[in-house]
Amino acid sequence: MMTKTVVILFLSAASMAQTILVGPRDSEAYSFAESQADGSSTFAERKLFKALVQAAQLANQAGPQTVIVKVAAGAYTGKANMGIWMVPQLTNPEAKLHILGGYDDQYKQRNPFTNLVNLVTSEGRNGAFLQFAKKSEIGELVISGLVFDAAPSNKYDAKTNSILKGTSRTYNMISFSQLKTQHLVVDSNVFINGSHGAFDPFIMPADANATIDITNNFFINNIKTLKTEASSNRGAVVKTMRFANNSFILNWPYNPDPTSGEVSCINLYHKGGAAAVVFDHNLFAFNPGGAMQHDWPEDRMPALTLKQNLFFMNAGLFGDGKPDAGVFAGKFGTNPKYLLCDLITIEDDFSYTCSGNQAFEPKIPITLSDLQGADSTQVQRKDTVLNDIRRLFGLNQDGGTVAIANYAPSMTFNPQQIPLPTEAKAKPYGVQIDQHFQ
């Protein structure tokens, strides 16, 4: 039986909690926000980018501040529709900033995967969706309940049903700019169609006890999704980087061939990025270049834990259609070609902590795009459901070369068809829609 974890936040008497309620113009949510605003502890805002500026100002006040930005469902654009959101410099190591999306019209309930907060980007965006100013410092940063869809800033070739990587924007979705913090939480977001990854948790630890929690997110159809790299601070590195209950589905190598420099969904960095990296109850499915890329020698790696994760068909690029193939794909220091490691190999040949991991089909309903038209700038995305995604890769169960017909085609996230496992025994793995940061 799945045990539900509930996080309860206690604010000390010395802490001052301030809330910014964000709702779209002319919406019921914004009308409610205005009725609650008192100009001292509660504020109302129509534009998310303005709310983030105000949040930084409040967080930078002296003392242990807690600033919560509550964002109601809707579509939000950046300033002048540029499709970027910038957080000014944060300068208070005692403060907490929580950016929480997915609220209903009265900000009572939060459902990040049904009350979608869409950050609408644009063609030609000149940076990450969400950017933090350089030399920022804050005690805790939480980013939860946002949808980052990079498709509007990408270009696609309707003839080949593939992304045109060279003319798509080569920025991550979040840029932390080496923000200094004790605790980073990235929770219950959707990262989809990233042409240059979702984000790297490249923060500077406040001290040797700093932690990073990346939990309950969907990572779908991104190119070279994420690297487990954080910065260091006078020799101190992040104590623990934890990935729990994330769904990594159909994420792509940097190039659609088995000799690409970055092939796997997660690029495992050496112990200079974190002392320990933990993967717990995640779902890795249909990532053609492997679930995790392991290029560093084992003796240079952090303490790595893989426990109770579900893997399924993560080596299509290499022609291996076995369920547990491609848990690791890597050169392990000196090997000239990629080697594939399944669960048994990892348990037998490496000194990492591995327990309870599984490999079977989760039966995920995937919403794919139906690309039409000859002009890639006019391609429209339509929802079509593909229950057996193996057909996308033409996986050959008997071995041999696998031809990938489509390379990172545009996909949609449909709250009416959330890509959760339909296989009963797979449901504890990956995103849990009834659990999120509180």
Q: pLDDT tens, 404-434?
A: 457 888 889 999 999 999 999 999 999 999 9
* Least confident residue range of 36-45, 56-65, 330-339: 330-339
CA distance 63 to 80: 34
124 φψ region: left (φ > 0), alpha (ψ -120 to 50), beta (else)? left
| pLDDT number for residue 367 | 52
Structural domain contains residue 112: yes
* Pair of tokens at residue 345: 């190999």
Structural domain contains residue 2: no
Q: Which residues pair with 70 in a beta bridge?
A: 21, 100
Q: pLDDT tens, 348-393?
A: 999 999 999 999 999 998 754 432 222 334 445 544 333 334 444 4
Q: pLDDT tens, 230-274?
A: 999 999 999 999 999 999 999 999 887 788 888 999 999 999 999
82, pLDDT greater than 60 = yes
Among 221, 219, 231, residue whose Cα is nearest residue 176: 231
Q: Which amino acid appears at position 189 of this protein?
A: N
Structural domain contains residue 122: yes
| pLDDT number for residue 15 | 58
pLDDT above 90 as % of the chain: 70
| pLDDT number for residue 94 | 98
* Pair of tokens at residue 377: 């700038």
Q: pLDDT tens, 190-231?
A: 999 998 889 999 999 999 999 999 999 999 999 989 999 999
CB 139 within 8 A of CB 181: yes
Q: With cut-offs at 50, 70 and 90, classify the pLDDT of residue 399.
A: very low
400, pLDDT greater than 70 = no
Q: pLDDT tens, 123-179?
A: 878 889 999 999 999 999 999 999 999 988 888 877 777 877 767 767 889 999 999
Structural domain contains residue 349: yes
> How far is the CA of 311 from the CAs of 2, 244, 286, 407, in angstroms?
19, 14, 9, 21
Q: What is the mean pLDDT of residues 274-303?
A: 96
Structural domain contains residue 54: no
- Reported in sequence order, the residue ranges of 201-342 that DSSP labels E, i.e. its strands, are 204-205, 211-215, 218-220, 226-227, 240-244, 247-249, 266-267, 276-280, 283-285, 292-293, 303-307, 310-312, 328-330, 339-341
Structural domain contains residue 37: no
331, pLDDT greater than 60 = yes
pLDDT above 70 as % of the chain: 87
Structural domain contains residue 257: yes
395, pLDDT greater than 70 = no
* Pair of tokens at residue 163: 């992304």
* Pair of tokens at residue 39: 């100009």
Which residue range is the domain that position 251 belongs to?
A: 72-426
The residue with tokens 């946002």 is 146
Structural domain contains residue 214: yes
Number of domains in the chain: 1
292, pLDDT greater than 90 = yes
CA distance 131 to 139: 18
Q: With cut-offs at 50, 70 and 90, classify the pLDDT of residue 307.
A: very high
